[in-house]
Amino acid sequence: MPHKQSEKPHSLTTNFSSFRHFSVFISLRLSVITELVTTAAMSKNMPPVHPCVSFLFIDQDKVLLEQRSKEKSCDPDMVAIPGGHMETGESQTETLLREIREELGVDALTYHYLCSLYHPTSELQLLHYYVVTQWQGEIQSHEADTVFWSKVTDFAPATEADKTALKELLRLQAEGLF
């Protein structure tokens, strides 16, 4: 289902020609910030920040979730929003597209930046959330124990980061942006 634009301009996107341009702008800025924060942490002997990308696949009123493997070092055996670590030199968009192919076996066609949140787990992660509204291929679970659809309003996130990202998605949906 195609992404629909809001009839009224969103206060944050007024100076941008579209929500997509704003998403790209913010995504690029966050890549720079992530690199600066990671470099600063390393220079002060602080624990490193591990940048990751998470993706909310949306199909009408449903969101795709994963049951993480018990063998995962981060958040084992948890129901969560799928995602993965950024590789060195990789942009958020490159990570998003790679992780979607690796984990779900599909290609994202339409996606938008949602928000970025810290997630302290066995490592400190900076999760960059994206909303995917169109994809090509049949979704399959390649890394998680299973993936499944849940009504957005029925999903009770186990982590604060997923909880906040879901609230932001619902807020933007109420404004007609997703």
Query: Does a structural domain hold residue 6?
Result: no
Range of the domain at 42: 19-174
pLDDT at 43 over 80: no
How many CB atoms are closer than 10 A to CB 79? 20
Residue 129, burial from CB neighbour count under 10 angstroms (0-12, 13-18, 19+) = buried
Average pLDDT for 65-81: 79
How many domains does the structure of the chain reveal? 1
Nearest CA to 135 out of 4, 18, 3 is that of: 3
pLDDT at 122 over 80: yes
Average pLDDT estimate for 152-173? 92
Average model confidence (pLDDT) for the chain?
81
Could you tell me if residue 10 is inside a domain?
no
Element at 58 (helix H, strand E): strand 49-59
CATH code assigned at 119: 3.90.79.10
Of the two residues 156 and 45, the one the predictor is more confident about is 156
**Does a structural domain hold residue 52?**
yes
Q: What pTM, to 2 d.p., does this model score?
A: 0.74
Q: Residue 13 domain-assigned?
A: no
Is residue 12 predicted with pLDDT exceeding 50?
A: no
Residue 77 within any structural domain of the chain: yes
**Mean pLDDT, rounded, for 84-112:** 97
Asked if 158 contacts 166 with a C-beta cutoff of 8 angstroms, the reply is no
